[in-house]
Structure 1
């Protein structure tokens, strides 16, 4: 059972820091009280509820508690901005993270919300933020996310940016990932200009100009690869320790930023469930590996065994266990211990499953890389790969070994050959199921038993374990390499490069009969990218799980299909980089591990590579070479959030769960995050299971009372020191860090429970209920004898206003140093000269600036149809138009709207429109400033006003006449002047067509427009 636990740990931490757990006398869950957030017992469900109940509440620290949280915890609430009710979820300057677990100590947010001591970022975990939302979606926040940034180095002026995250269910810090944001609003102080409102944006949170109206969560070389919320390049900053605007280059600084959300939740609607008298059951974490890697005992060499360095020659590509030995195979020259000892054991090595020490008795010798490993029912080790010799004897890419010594075992007589001219026999996948051993790869014939007869079974085959021979009843013929196989009683799933099975079309994925080797059901699946089916969309692996089958492969797609009809149930896409190369099902925990060469983000629910954020995406999470998915629902399990990296970017090619529940991952790995920080872990890493066992439950809960205080005592269930949570009625009211007793203000009939809690979020079952007894009845006391009342003084009449005793009001006397009032000439002489007042000339009017949004489309089929550039063009013509901020285009990373195209689908031109409403006066003119990268034509109200480096009547497929570098184009601005006589009163339209010189070249556009006076 999974139970979020970060908030309870936060509460434990707060108590450890000496935070008082104050109680209001007489308050309990069955007594009406105002959730003011001033104590753990009167915790509110949100900062917004605090503000609604106390409109005079000021910004500061408050206790919050929702049903999704394990205990009340303290947070910082902004109760002034925009009506208040905002909870701070992160703050800092440079050095933010995108990791699921956030950064820093959560209590630092409310103890140090601002100031130079807050520059080191602290971010609540994504789990904590979701608990504050209490099940509501992030995209349902009506006020969006608020980013409060300093706009000057002194931190005296501030900007608020509001933005709504679209297509996002859960919170994540993946703010650098391309996604959709809506309703973006800049509330600027007067020192930097007026406020701005924008619509939909894709990519950075808000990037409309190179000044203050830009909010990019970014990391780049200019910032030392530190994440932060950066302004545009026109804003200046420095590296001073006390500066609120930090940048090593002097420009595009990262401003000190606070991040807020405003969930509008109250206790009455929160729905805390009533606890039965028997108490609550234990609550533990879902079984997943720790996100940090185990200490390195052994690693592979950095050097390749074959001398080849490529994506298909990574260090570890296969992992399996036989007995107490875990074997790793791939393309490595030797293995190295943590102490620096080098052992000349290349391509394949074994390690003790319990100690992770090298098994020195296992010493096979190969002359080529390993692609597949599998434990056979007989206790032998099956090995597949691209080798031709094992232990000094010929071997055709497939061999059986003694798992203790590494000697070749020939008792089964299994072998493969590839009789295609010039082809090399290779086994890339092996699986044991139901008395059979399945193999897949690149071969034409197989043999087994004692004879020399080879049976035709192309690229996939199986051996009968009991007879040792080839199963001649199951002999499929595939026209391409098989990369993955997963068999069950229902059927056999295959993944690879093939497009036909037994001359029946089935592209890259196939589901075969378990008896005949023919297609049992069609697998018409949707690739994540338009492909040529003869060479694209390849799949690397398949795994069956329950009533589903998973597949992973090219264009960054991992997907789950129903076994009943092979229809898609779920899918996820990684960007940028990220073909899935291996799948591994842990049947004990129902977790599917997906390994890839991905190092950025996984878009859960997406199925389209080009724009995964525009499809059915529900969440975006960080992924670093391997991720965890729920095998039944397909959901990403972001609590497993490792950090692994390699030197070539080839990623992880194999994952495996051993008999101790340890997850092994192998591939192009050179470094990982361990429990003590970064460590060198070359070739493979290990992740031990996280703790999911709660401490022993307490017992014998007793409650006594004197009518004022309830005294709770209980018996510990463990010898070691344990933290305890005290629950009253249906809520946690305190965490006890030391001892087995607690005192709380008395409430008649209060129902108490106690449970153990550890530091990783596991909770024991609670004690049964213990009810507060009625207070003792006090004996009546005789009333006191009344003393005589003191004498009453006679009233004194007030002074009378008469001639003898006048009441004189005070008189305001002028101060001796006050200046004399000015003398006003009430009768001026008409002959006195009057100085004329010069009327102010009207200022030029800026109509369009960089960062404004333009309508853009591509590939207009008939450039001669000039209606697209006319003033009254109808947009409902079937042509797809988009709205994006300038600068816009492709081939230049600094653009505000950097359009993503591959070489083969990059358009030659883009077409842009912008509508303006102006009323030009006589003598005024419209001045356009732009540049040509590479060729362009500009139109105003349908009339061409300028053409640069572009042939007359150029079509959508035309290229510019010459190449112009982006940097050169920016240095040669083009100015176009249109007199008022050629403009309309009211609606005017500027249109532009921009052409690249050739495929692969940049094409960019930006413009400013000013209505100038004579």
Structure 2
């Protein structure tokens, strides 16, 4: 903890105490961790430092407060943010969380920016929907339950096309913990009112008293071009006019989408909130958990066209991924690789079924050119550096290769070494390979086959599942799953003790294994005990319904199984007890399940909602706990089993077949493949995404702690916090200044001025990156009332006389007797080329610039013989020399010997570097005099075109006796 009391000379000590002066440069002075009570700050929301806990608190503290933008802060928000508050309706205190006409989205991360929302609250410019991120809304509630809001959710809806008549709607959620934007889901509604007319019941998807104005319909039907809104009933029509406050996709069509504002009224007071306590040593860093970003990476190359596999959902453009080194391989039923949606010529290349792309850039690798005659369904990199390829093809590179080939990872040519082919000897059976998984010793294969055949013609019987020795390529005839139907998914457990299969089978040998099984890896491939008995969302009588399962993964001590009738279930690895269940609605089957580190990814042909702790379809019942948005791709926490709603991409597929392959590469980027056609990247920019989309891993690294933190007096009423900049792998976005545990300001600078009070006050500084990761804070910087022995002779940011001129300097310019009254004056920092200056000394100055600048400042002192520990701290660039009463006390970045006006500095530090590295010069007390003392300074350029120059100086001392 650094403490810096402020003091003045003995003559002024009494006057300074009355003014509340409070700082010193004695870094060794330690103060208590808990600051004494300071004067209460009125939470009026007028500034970050006076942020209120809610719009309601603003109104309570100032009944005359008008509607407008205010600063709000809760512990859950972490830092003050600005919001629009309606302070007129029903007593005021309402915070605007969304507004717009048609196009409301269910995505957790909201739509458009908070600035857009608060700055444009109504009018036609506000028609494009803006919604706060759900995390921000939860922050406004300080993570309180949504269903606990006394006033529920307030909607202000236009009732006519001109927007001159309005309706007030209130409704409460019957059971809702955190905020969601999935109003089109089956969230149950409690009480509601339309302009005071009350009712209850229904769901957020549709509730109300009639089919006209007393109705809220949040669905996004085909008739309205799939554009959601807080619509009226079918009897209220809208128009397509861009200026109409009631919109419909067709003029005169019912269920008009009105321009709507949505407000909440959390009644939070600062006095009731707990911001916690930070120890003097500072607070630790905080970072967000691992998850892909919701914004897609820019499309560099994609794939297009449909090959010999056909046009069904089992033949999408992309079905498989694998990585070897810096290359990601993409397999499927595509015909071309291309740069853009309508690419031609060199930007659209025929490369059917299998292509390679750079893992970092996404660039197509043109040297990898395998030739196959049908779609690829499975890929895996082998330990020997080759690529195993499986699918529906019968030839590879001009040779017969039934459904399986191992190729050179660089060229795609058939690779030397072991090879295998696949046969299906059942009557009418069509062989195919659907999946690969590898243990440390074996390659496991899923698909439709009865035999694997080596090049010498030796065939090994292994039904719809197999394993192959990775070193020799020999199929293991002693390990035969004997599945009686096609297997789709395959997963080799990391422990090496079992392998999982999913698919269309019902038996493993003589054991019933409905669509999913766990097999021991010992000879015989016996089922694991206790027996895994998968459960289904809509099995029908005696499991005769749609029970097939397509994706399987082991992660977080659970087995994840996804498939028909919209289900993804998680089972305990040891007991196979079902631990979690998820149903998509309206949506489709899960088709891909991939475990990767702490996450599980799932892909489906679903576009609406995923319900947590739901186990049946199509009636999901009322026991589900969350209803979140899921658009073809979702993520789950492997350990807890919780759906990760913050991963909420906006994507579109060509025919709605969705995701059939999911893969996280070595950089953490998620590759999602299927029949994808479009995605949204950062900045809400739509883009073509042919066949696959990439999502970069979000930033989980906090910035470094700000360095060299210090507090320096500026005046009897203020002090300056300073620090050196932090570093971050993706860049520091800003710094937060905390008073105790409460953020009072954000800044892009490396200094911040704070007031001085009568009692000690602790401050901390931390860095924040664009993703919201926060560094550890500095240790406490304490502003404390001084003793009379502590002197500040010259404060930073003082006013100085100065000259910056090419004419010869006066020979006596640095002596106390020199008359500088003709010089310019201005506050420090003085210089040029930097945004943080108090005075620009080069304004209007012609080039070439002078090589040096001179500065003078005087101060009064009595009893200099009692003064000790006199220290000057100077921040200057490029070079600087300092004189006290005409005597040099120190120089930096200047040559030895006599200095002239045109002496060049020996180094050229930038202003930011100089400001962060103050030079310290001790001043012998015998240089000080009773009465007026003069500091004289000359700064020098290293070269005439140096981009910036700066100067500031502080002078402190201690008085004995």
TM-score, normalisation: structure 2: 0.73
Residue 886 of structure 2 is matched in structure 1 by none
Find the partner of 1:412 among 404, 409, 418: 418
Find the partner of 1:563 among 546, 565, 573: 573
Residue 41 of structure 1 is matched in structure 2 by 49
Question: Cα–Cα, structure 1 residues 44 and 446, in superposed 2: closer, same or farther, change >3 Å?
Answer: same
Residue 649 of structure 1 is matched in structure 2 by 656
Find the partner of 1:436 among 418, 421, 442: 442
Asked if 2 retains the 8 angstrom alpha-carbon contact of 1:167 and 1:617, the reply is no
Structure 1, residues 964-995: CA drift from partner, whole Å, max 9, x if none?
xxxxxxxxxxxxxxxxxxxxxxxxxxxxxxxx
CA distance in 1, matches of 2:681, 2:47: 38
Matched, 1:366 2:375: no
CA distance in 1, matches of 2:224, 2:479: 59
Question: Cα–Cα, structure 1 residues 649 and 239, in superposed 2: closer, same or farther, change >3 Å?
Answer: closer
Residue 71 of structure 2 is matched in structure 1 by 63
Residue 505 of structure 2 is matched in structure 1 by 498
Find the partner of 2:666 among 659, 673, 677: 659
State the SS of the aligned residue for 2:477. coil
Matched, 1:728 2:739: yes
Matched, 1:576 2:586: yes
CA distance in 1, matches of 2:292, 2:763: 35
Residue 350 of structure 1 is matched in structure 2 by 356
Question: Cα–Cα, structure 1 residues 502 and 279, in superposed 2: closer, same or farther, change >3 Å?
Answer: same
Matched, 1:386 2:392: yes
CA distance in 2, matches of 1:554, 1:571: 13
Find the partner of 1:529 among 515, 523, 538: 538
CA distance in 1, matches of 2:359, 2:126: 45
CA distance in 2, matches of 1:239, 1:778: 77
RMSD: 2.8
Question: Residues 167-186 of structure 1 correspond to what in structure 2 (within 5 A)?
Answer: 167-186=175-194
Find the partner of 1:270 among 265, 270, 273: 273
State the SS of the aligned residue for 1:109. helix
CA distance in 1, matches of 2:94, 2:329: 53
CA distance in 2, matches of 1:467, 1:328: 26
State the SS of the aligned residue for 1:139. helix
Question: Cα–Cα, structure 1 residues 39 and 309, in superposed 2: closer, same or farther, change >3 Å?
Answer: same
Question: Cα–Cα, structure 1 residues 669 and 271, in superposed 2: closer, same or farther, change >3 Å?
Answer: same
Asked if 2 retains the 8 angstrom alpha-carbon contact of 1:168 and 1:620, the reply is no
Asked if 1 retains the 8 angstrom alpha-carbon contact of 2:309 and 2:374, the reply is no
CA distance in 2, matches of 1:295, 1:320: 20
Matched, 1:375 2:381: yes
State the SS of the aligned residue for 1:734. strand
Find the partner of 1:551 among 556, 561, 574: 561
Deviates most, 345-354 or 408-417: 408-417
CA distance in 2, matches of 1:64, 1:28: 25
Displacement of 1:318 after TM fit?
Answer: 0.8
Residue 306 of structure 1 is matched in structure 2 by 308
Structure 1, residues 157-191: CA drift from partner, whole Å, max 9, x if none?
432222222443321212122332221222x2xxx
Question: Cα–Cα, structure 1 residues 675 and 58, in superposed 2: closer, same or farther, change >3 Å?
Answer: closer
Structure 1, residues 442-473: CA drift from partner, whole Å, max 9, x if none?
1112345x753323221111112244322233
CA distance in 2, matches of 1:415, 1:153: 68
CA distance in 2, matches of 1:354, 1:62: 43
State the SS of the aligned residue for 1:127. helix
Residue 483 of structure 1 is matched in structure 2 by 488
Structure 1, residues 385-441: CA drift from partner, whole Å, max 9, x if none?
112222222222122222222222463243332110111111111111121111111
Residue 100 of structure 2 is matched in structure 1 by 92
Structure 1, residues 857-904: CA drift from partner, whole Å, max 9, x if none?
xxxxxxxxxxxxxxxxxxxxxxxxxxxxxxxxxxxxxxxxxxxxxxxx
Question: Residues 440-839 of structure 1 correspond to what in structure 2 (within 5 A)?
Answer: 440-448=446-454, 452-488=457-493, 489-515=496-522, 516-520=524-528, 521-531=530-540, 533-534=543-544, 536-587=546-597, 590-612=598-620, 614-675=621-682, 677-705=685-713, 706-717=715-726, 723-744=734-755, 746=757, 748-775=759-786
Deviates most, 412-421 or 78-87: 78-87
Asked if 2 retains the 8 angstrom alpha-carbon contact of 1:714 and 1:741, the reply is no
CA distance in 2, matches of 1:304, 1:240: 39
Question: Cα–Cα, structure 1 residues 53 and 722, in superposed 2: closer, same or farther, change >3 Å?
Answer: closer
Question: Cα–Cα, structure 1 residues 73 and 246, in superposed 2: closer, same or farther, change >3 Å?
Answer: same
Asked if 2 retains the 8 angstrom alpha-carbon contact of 1:29 and 1:730, the reply is no
Residue 316 of structure 1 is matched in structure 2 by 318
Q: How many residues align?
A: 744
Question: Residues 232-251 of structure 1 correspond to what in structure 2 (within 5 A)?
Answer: 232-235=233-236, 237-238=238-239, 243-247=244-248, 249-250=251-252, 251=254
State the SS of the aligned residue for 1:681. strand
Asked if 2 retains the 8 angstrom alpha-carbon contact of 1:291 and 1:641, the reply is yes
Question: Residues 842-991 of structure 1 correspond to what in structure 2 (within 5 A)?
Answer: none
CA distance in 2, matches of 1:726, 1:701: 12
Asked if 2 retains the 8 angstrom alpha-carbon contact of 1:497 and 1:535, the reply is no
Structure 1 stretches lacking a partner, 5+ long: 1-23, 189-194, 780-1014
Displacement of 1:315 after TM fit?
Answer: 0.8
CA distance in 2, matches of 1:103, 1:436: 47
State the SS of the aligned residue for 2:118. helix
Find the partner of 1:130 among 122, 138, 143: 138
State the SS of the aligned residue for 1:202. coil
Deviates most, 465-474 or 567-576: 465-474
CA distance in 1, matches of 2:151, 2:538: 35
Question: Cα–Cα, structure 1 residues 730 and 28, in superposed 2: closer, same or farther, change >3 Å?
Answer: farther
Asked if 2 retains the 8 angstrom alpha-carbon contact of 1:716 and 1:740, the reply is no
Displacement of 1:95 after TM fit?
Answer: 3.4
Structure 2 stretches lacking a partner, 5+ long: 1-19, 23-34, 791-961
Residue 839 of structure 1 is matched in structure 2 by none
Matched, 1:291 2:294: yes
Matched, 1:425 2:446: no
Find the partner of 1:333 among 311, 332, 335: 335
Asked if 2 retains the 8 angstrom alpha-carbon contact of 1:703 and 1:773, the reply is no
Asked if 1 retains the 8 angstrom alpha-carbon contact of 2:97 and 2:137, the reply is yes
CA distance in 2, matches of 1:468, 1:47: 69
Displacement of 1:637 after TM fit?
Answer: 1.7
Displacement of 1:201 after TM fit?
Answer: 0.5
Asked if 1 retains the 8 angstrom alpha-carbon contact of 2:538 and 2:545, the reply is no
State the SS of the aligned residue for 1:228. coil
CA distance in 2, matches of 1:525, 1:554: 12
Displacement of 1:765 after TM fit?
Answer: 1.8
CA distance in 1, matches of 2:468, 2:47: 69
State the SS of the aligned residue for 2:147. helix
Asked if 2 retains the 8 angstrom alpha-carbon contact of 1:707 and 1:774, the reply is no
| Structure of greater relative contact order (alpha carbons < 8 Å, 6+ residues apart) | 2
Asked if 2 retains the 8 angstrom alpha-carbon contact of 1:707 and 1:775, the reply is no
CA distance in 2, matches of 1:490, 1:47: 58
Question: Cα–Cα, structure 1 residues 726 and 65, in superposed 2: closer, same or farther, change >3 Å?
Answer: same
Residue 256 of structure 2 is matched in structure 1 by 253
Asked if 1 retains the 8 angstrom alpha-carbon contact of 2:709 and 2:722, the reply is yes
Asked if 1 retains the 8 angstrom alpha-carbon contact of 2:103 and 2:128, the reply is yes
Question: Cα–Cα, structure 1 residues 25 and 481, in superposed 2: closer, same or farther, change >3 Å?
Answer: farther
Displacement of 1:510 after TM fit?
Answer: 1.0
Deviates most, 78-87 or 353-362: 78-87
State the SS of the aligned residue for 1:128. helix
TM-score, normalisation: structure 1: 0.69
CA distance in 2, matches of 1:696, 1:348: 43
Question: Cα–Cα, structure 1 residues 337 and 737, in superposed 2: closer, same or farther, change >3 Å?
Answer: closer
Matched, 1:106 2:130: no
